Structure formats: structure tokens, C-alpha cells
């Protein structure tokens, strides 16, 4: 049951001036399914983006990193008791997403040491570890070496004092406690936005390299366990990795952990190759199990629980020329990141769940946050809730709709250029906006969650004839993507309650969500959206308009205007400093929202 004690505990621990979402606070019993324990069990996370303090406004995901630490430790003890293996995998993107992670110098000052407290067995790098030289260097020097050879970067290099070196280990070979021989690689997608202190080798080239060919041809492997900061579904990179392994191992099991797309998903390549992705932002813990692997150790006890699954919908494009049948059985569940879930699967209660290990981490979060009082400073009261991807952009409840109809026209303009004499087009990449804007208190922490980026607003003047098509042209330009997919309902069949949340359909069916929710909704978003301000009376293509973009995609947008990137002029704030994408909602809050929430 989602207990009220969870919220009181959170308020006590973090006391962050939290706002409670209408309908989000519930003490009502919900259906959390049992999980199957297999021969090999894997807990996975991805795209945590600094959300280690938990979701203070959404009880579905209200646990913090201390709770997760105790959950992991208890699950490990349970695995030992059952005589089965339990591994932990993370697929990268630790930065950019919360004030707790990003409002420090260096970025991740508090979050990275906390992340290191969890005994991960395999980690991959994400693109958010590679955008800036500062974060890349910090990851290289202070984070990757922590993992005893399990922070694997199969296709990333770094310039260390001018010398190009592997960022970390390229692969790892190891044997589990109960005798499964594993070969691990970890890749990032063919990312091109990395700092020039680093090199990302396209996956297709990396799998041709001699070190990979040597390792992939080993015969002493029971399982290829691969992490990757790569979208799981329909990914050319995963298909290349899968094929490179299958070239030498026609049926050796391959278990993949993807990420980057911020969704829950599971994909079957063939009957012994499957992958899972565990969502985003400490909302989801992935649970994947395999039975039937060869092992050189006799297990003490049998695995337990129901739940092995069969492939219901093989990934499109794959025709199962590789094994279509096997003796392996799989299960997968997407666990909600909350105390009732963690307590249920560890047979604990609110009183018995936490130990000094988890409580120490929670205290560390509270103490660290106390050194950042500015995070909870009230900027204004958001007048309503606006959702990033639950509703189409035409819907007034869509954040992108609110930005283009209200926020951008109100606050994005260069000094003095907000009158009818200056028609404006204000465009953003939708990927820059990363989380919902929720009604009530809006703080610096919330600002980081909605848009953490310091991309500078810039403008140039262009004739309406070209400016009017810039949005359409950018939709098909190189993609800076982001796509994704409160209340409580009583389910009279189960006699339990359901909250709005994820409802996932993957290659194994629709029973993957461990807590039963009703669908919170999802809508595809375009890659860019724009506000047109004072343009409705323009009849002449030669009329000049101001086109606003951010520095993140200014070079691409220039191609459709003058073609000249030097024509962009930075928008400045009242003190002459830059005005960044991060500053947009705080400016709106300060100027236009009530201060009495």
C-alpha cells in the first residue's frame, strides 16, 4: 500500500517546501505484482539524471537513493539465500536534470559520490557525461575508476594530456557467484555532440576493431551481458552489436540493457537475445530474470515465483533466423521507485525496511541539500500543471503549448524588441524541456528539472519569406530528439486503487508494469516547436522578422535563414548577462506568476 508515512518521511527527510499534486497523495492500496526470481536476476537503472533525492511531487516515485540502496542490499541478501545470482546494471546519463545534481561546482558534486554507494556490476557512459570537457574529465578521473573495471566504454576515448586513450575498460570478463561466465561490453550510440576532448567511435567501426573481434570470438562465454546508452527499439547500433555477436555465437544468450530514450521497454532479437530499458529519472527499477543458463555450480535452492514470459511480438524487422526456440525462460518487470514496492519485494515493513546504510545515504542527501538553500527558493506559483508528453501540443495542458502560447511571447525577446514593430518567431528543440511543470510552488530545483540547459537565447533578423518555413525545415533537420509517451481510480475487479502512471506494451506483452496503473497518456512530440508573435498581419515576404533560437541548434537553424552563424546576436538579461533556456521559466515566474501559492 502506498502509505501516508512515505510522504511524511519524505517531508521530514528533505523538507523541501514540497507541493502536493492534487490526487497524487494516496494512502490507498494498489496492486503490486509478485516478481519471479530466476537463476540470474538483474536490477537495472538508466537515465537517472541526478534524481537521487526522489520525486517529491509524485508519490509513485517517492523513494530516494537511500531507499534504493537498502532495497539493493536486501535483494542481494535474498539472492544469496535463494542461491541465485543478482547483478546490477546502469546505462548512463547521470547529469543534467535536477538542481541537486546540477547546481553544484563541479556538476554532480553530491550526486556522483552517492551513486558510487550502490554496488553496480556493469555501467555504461551516457551522452550527458560527454557534452562538456569538465564533466567528461571528472567522469574519467573520478568516477570511472571507482568501478573496478566494470565502467565500460567500448567505443569512447578521451584525450589525456593530449594522448588519446580508452576512456575506461573496453570490456570485462567475469564469473558470477554461481558460476555463469559473462562477457560484457558497453557502448554509447553514435553520438556526435560530444566535447572535443573525447572521441566516440561509431558502433559499426568499434565492432570491427581487433580487441572486440578477439573477445567476441572467445568460446568460454555463457552469457553476453551488454549495457548501452542506446535506444533499445529499432536501433541500428544495437542491431550491429547483436549481429557482431551472432556472427560467432549462433545461440549464446545475449542480455542487453538500453537507455537514452527514457522509456520502459523490452525487446526480443531472437529466442536467446533480449533487452530491457528501465525508463528514466529514478522512476523505474528494471527487473530481468533468466533461467536455464549453463553453470558450473550446482545451485543450493530452486528459483521461486511465477512469471516466465514468452515473446508475443518480435521486434519488427527481425525474422528469427537465429534461434527461435530455446530452453531459456525470461521474465521482466518495471518496478516503480517507491517504498511500498521496495518493501513488498524484500518482505519488509515501513519499520524494518531501512538500515543504517540507506538512512546514512538519505541523511547525506538532506545535509547536502541543506548547503543549497537556493534550490527551494520560491520563484513564483505555477498557475496550472502542464505536461511534457501526456497530451498533444495542441492541448492547453501540454507544456509545449503553454511555452509557445504564453511563456515565450512574454519573456523571450532582446531588449526593446517586444513591440508590434518587431514580429518574432521563437523556436525551441523540444528535447531541451525534460519534465512536467506542476501547479503550485516553482523553485530553482523545479527549473532545473524542466530545463537544465544553459543554452543561450539568440536571434537574427530574416525576411518572412524564409523565416516562416524555419520551423518546418528544422523538423526534418538533424534531430535533437525527445519523444516519450492525477488522479486515482478504483478498480472494482481487484478491489484496489490505480494511480495514473506508465502502461507499457513491449515485445513480451503488457504485463511488465509491476504496479498496475491507468494510463497517464502519451503523445508524440515534434522535434521543435515555435511561437509566432505579431506575425499575423504580415503579407509581404520581404518583411523582416526576428527569429529566436538557442545556441544548442543555432548553427542548424542558420542554414535555413542567412546561412551565416555569425549573424546570431545573444539576447541579454537586464544586467547585460546571457539569457539561457534554463532562465526562461524563472523569468516567467518572477514577472508574471503569483507569489502566494
Ligand X SMILES: Nc1ccn([C@@H]2O[C@H](COP(=O)(O)O)[C@@H](O)[C@H]2O)c(=O)n1
Q: What is the 8-class DSSP label of residue 280?
A: S
Minimum gap (Å) between residue 372 Cβ and ligand X: 22
The C-alpha cell of 207 is what? 565492432
Planar angle of CA 176, 111, 502, nearest 5 degrees? 75
Is residue 37 a contact point for ligand X (CB under 6 A)?
no
Q: Could you tell me which of 443, 413, 451, 397 has the C-alpha nearest to residue 582?
A: 451
Instruction: Candidates 8-16, 47-55, 304-312, 363-371: pick the segment binding Zn ion (CB under 5 A).
Output: 47-55
Question: In a 3-state reduction of DSSP, which class is residue 590?
Answer: helix
Among 64, 70, 85, 93, contact with ligand X (rule: CB under 6 A) = 93
Minimum gap (Å) between residue 20 Cβ and ligand X: 27
In the complex with ligand X, which residue's Cβ is closer, 307 or 432? 432
Is the separation of the CB atoms in 48 and 281 below 8 Å? Answer: yes
- Containing H/E element for 269? strand 264-270
* Alpha-helical runs (H) found in 516-563: 554-558
Q: What is the 8-class DSSP label of residue 327?
A: S
Is residue 93 a contact point for Zn ion (CB under 5 A)?
yes
Is residue 345 a contact point for Zn ion (CB under 5 A)?
no
Per-residue x/- track, 410-429, ligand X (CB under 6 A): -------------------x
Site for ligand X in 438-457 (CB under 6 A): 453, 455
Among 3, 13, 36, 47, contact with Zn ion (rule: CB under 5 A) = 47
Site for Zn ion in 250-289 (CB under 5 A): 260
Alpha-carbon separation of residue 553 from 200, 475, 559, 587 (angstroms): 20, 12, 11, 22
Q: How far is C-alpha 582 from the chain's CA centre?
A: 18
In the complex with ligand X, which residue's Cβ is closer, 50 or 275? 50
Site for ligand X in 319-338 (CB under 6 A): none
Minimum gap (Å) between residue 135 Cβ and ligand X: 11
Is residue 237 a contact point for Zn ion (CB under 5 A)?
no
Per-residue x/- track, 236-275, ligand X (CB under 6 A): ------------------------x---------------
Question: In a 3-state reduction of DSSP, which class is residue 183?
Answer: strand
Per-residue x/- track, 129-148, ligand X (CB under 6 A): --x-----------------
Among 178, 238, 464, 552, contact with ligand X (rule: CB under 6 A) = 552
In the complex with ligand X, which residue's Cβ is closer, 177 or 482? 482
Q: How many residues does the chain have?
A: 597
Minimum gap (Å) between residue 423 Cβ and ligand X: 25
Is residue 481 a contact point for ligand X (CB under 6 A)?
yes
Neighbour count for residue 181 (Cβ, 10 Å): 17
Is residue 107 a contact point for ligand X (CB under 6 A)?
no
Minimum gap (Å) between residue 407 Cβ and Zn ion: 23
In the complex with ligand X, which residue's Cβ is closer, 233 or 344? 233
Minimum gap (Å) between residue 92 Cβ and Zn ion: 7
In whole angstroms, give the CA distance from residue 316 to residue 284: 25
How many residues at the interface with ligand X, by CB under 6 A? 15
Instruction: Candidates 42-50, 238-246, 316-324, 403-411: pick the segment binding Zn ion (CB under 5 A).
Output: 42-50
Q: Is 161 exposed, middle or buried (0-12, 13-18, 19+ CB in 10 A)?
A: exposed
- Residues near 99 by beta carbon (within 8 Å), at least 6 away in sequence: 372, 375, 443, 444, 445, 447, 448, 449
Is residue 482 a contact point for ligand X (CB under 6 A)?
yes
Minimum gap (Å) between residue 447 Cβ and Zn ion: 18
Residue 264 interacts, among Zn ion, ligand X, none and using kind-specific CB cut-offs from 5 to 8 Å, with none
What does the buried/exposed string (b/e) look like for 441-478 if buried means 16 or more CB atoms within 10 Å of the residue's CB? Answer: bbbbbbbbbbbbbebbbbbbebebebbbebbeebeeee
Among 127, 155, 341, 532, contact with ligand X (rule: CB under 6 A) = 127
In the complex with ligand X, which residue's Cβ is closer, 109 or 482? 482
Q: Give the 3-state secondary structure of 14-53.
A: HCCCCCCCCCCCCCCCECECCCCCCCEEEEEECCCCCHHH
* Alpha-helical runs (H) found in 427-583: 444-450, 464-467, 470-475, 554-558
Q: How far is C-alpha 76 from the chain's CA centre?
A: 25
Minimum gap (Å) between residue 452 Cβ and ligand X: 8
In the complex with ligand X, which residue's Cβ is closer, 480 or 593? 480
Residues forming the site for ligand X (CB under 6 A): 47, 93, 127-128, 131, 260, 429, 431-432, 453, 455, 480-482, 552
- Footprint of Zn ion (CB under 5 A): 47, 93, 126-127, 260
Amino acid at each position: 500500500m502506498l502509505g501516508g508515512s512515505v510522504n511524511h518521511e519524505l517531508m521530514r527527510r528533505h523538507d523541501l517546501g514540497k507541493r502536493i499534486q492534487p490526487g497524487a497523495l494516496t494512502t490507498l492500496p494498489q496492486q503490486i505484482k509478485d516478481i519471479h526470481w530466476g537463476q540470474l536476476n538483474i536490477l537495472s537503472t538508466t537515465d537517472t539524471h541526478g534524481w537521487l533525492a526522489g520525486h517529491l511531487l509524485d508519490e509513485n516515485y517517492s523513494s530516494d537513493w537511500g531507499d534504493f540502496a537498502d532495497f539493493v542490499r536486501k535483494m542481494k541478501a535474498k539472492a544469496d539465500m535463494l542461491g541465485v545470482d543478482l547483478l546490477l546494471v546502469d546505462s548512463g546519463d547521470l547529469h543534467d536534470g535536477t538542481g541537486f545534481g546540477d547546481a553544484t561546482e563541479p556538476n554532480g558534486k553530491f550526486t556522483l559520490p552517492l551513486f558510487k554507494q550502490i554496488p553496480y556490476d556493469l555501467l555504461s557512459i551516457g551522452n550527458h557525461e560527454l557534452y562538456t570537457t569538465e564533466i567528461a574529465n571528472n567522469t574519467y578521473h573520478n568516477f570511472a575508476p571507482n568501478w573496478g573495471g566494470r565502467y565500460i566504454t567500448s567505443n569512447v576515448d578521451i584525450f589525456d594530456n593530449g594522448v588519446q586513450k580508452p576512456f575506461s575498460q573496453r570490456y570485462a570478463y567475469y564469473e558470477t557467484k554461481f558460476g555463469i561466465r559473462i562477457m560484457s561490453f558497453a557502448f554509447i550510440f553514435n553520438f556526435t555532440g560530444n566535447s572535443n576532448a573525447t572521441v566516440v567511435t561509431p558502433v559499426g567501426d568499434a565492432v570491427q576493431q581487433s580487441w572486440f573481434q578477439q573477445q567476441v570470438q572467445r568460446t568460454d562465454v555463457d552469457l553476453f551481458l551488454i549495457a548501452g546508452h542506446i535506444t533499445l527499439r529499432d536501433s541500428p547500433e544495437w542491431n550491429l552489436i547483436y549481429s557482431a555477436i551472432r556472427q560467432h555465437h549462433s545461440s549464446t544468450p545475449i542480455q542487453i540493457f538500453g537507455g537514452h530514450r527514457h522509456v520502459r521497454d523490452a525487446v526480443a532479437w531472437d529466442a536467446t537475445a533480449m533487452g530491457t530499458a528501465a525508463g528514466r529519472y529514478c522512476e523505474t527499477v528494471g527487473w530481468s530474470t533468466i533461467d536455464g543458463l549453463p553453470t558450473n555450480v550446482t545451485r543450493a535452492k530452486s528459483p521461486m515465483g511465477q512469471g516466465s514470459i514468452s515473446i508475443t511480438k518480435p521486434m519488427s524487422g527481425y525474422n528469427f533466423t537465429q534461434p527461435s526456440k530455446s530452453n531459456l525462460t525470461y521474465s521482466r518487470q518495471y518496478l516503480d521507485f517507491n517504498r511500498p514496492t521496495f518493501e513488498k519485494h524484500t518482505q519488509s515493513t515501513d519499520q524494518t525496511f531501512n538500515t543504517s546504510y540507506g538512512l546514512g545515504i538519505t541523511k547525506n542527501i538532506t545535509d547536502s541539500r541543506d548547503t543549497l538553500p537556493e534550490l527551494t527558493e520560491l520563484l513564483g506559483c505555477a498557475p496550472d500543471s502542464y505536461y511534457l508528453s501526456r497530451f498533444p501540443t495542441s492541448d492547453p495542458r501540454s507544456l509545449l503549448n503553454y511555452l509557445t502560447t504564453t511563456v515565450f511571447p512574454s519573456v523571450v525577446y532582446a531588449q526593446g524588441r517586444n513591440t508590434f514593430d518587431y514580429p518574432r518567431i521563437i523556436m525551441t528543440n523540444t528535447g531541451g524541456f525534460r519534465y512536467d511543470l506542476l501547479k503550485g510552488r516553482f523553485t530553482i530545483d523545479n527549473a532545473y528539472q524542466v530545463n537544465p540547459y544553459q543554452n543561450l537565447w539568440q536571434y537574427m533578423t530574416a525576411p518572412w519569406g524564409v523565416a516562416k518555413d524555419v520551423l518546418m525545415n528544422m523538423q526534418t533537420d538533424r534531430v535533437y530528439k525527445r519523444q516519450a509517451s492525477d488522479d486515482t481510480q478504483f478498480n472494482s475487479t481487484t478491489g484496489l486503487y490505480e494511480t495514473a502512471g506508465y502502461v507499457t506494451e513491449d515485445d513480451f506483452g503488457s504485463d511488465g508494469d509491476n504496479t498496475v496503473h491507468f494510463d497517464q497518456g502519451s503523445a508524440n512530440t515534434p522535434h521543435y516547436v515555435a511561437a509566432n508573435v505579431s506575425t499575423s498581419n504580415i503579407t509581404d515576404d520581404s518583411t523582416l522578422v526576428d527569429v529566436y533560437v538557442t545556441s544548442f541548434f543555432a548553427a542548424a537553424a542558420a542554414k535555413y535563414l542567412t546561412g551565416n552563424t555569425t549573424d546570431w546576436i545573444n539576447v541579454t538579461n537586464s544586467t547585460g548577462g546571457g539569457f539561457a533556456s534554463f532562465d526562461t521559466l524563472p523569468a516567467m515566474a518572477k514577472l508574471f506568476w503569483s507569489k502566494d501559492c
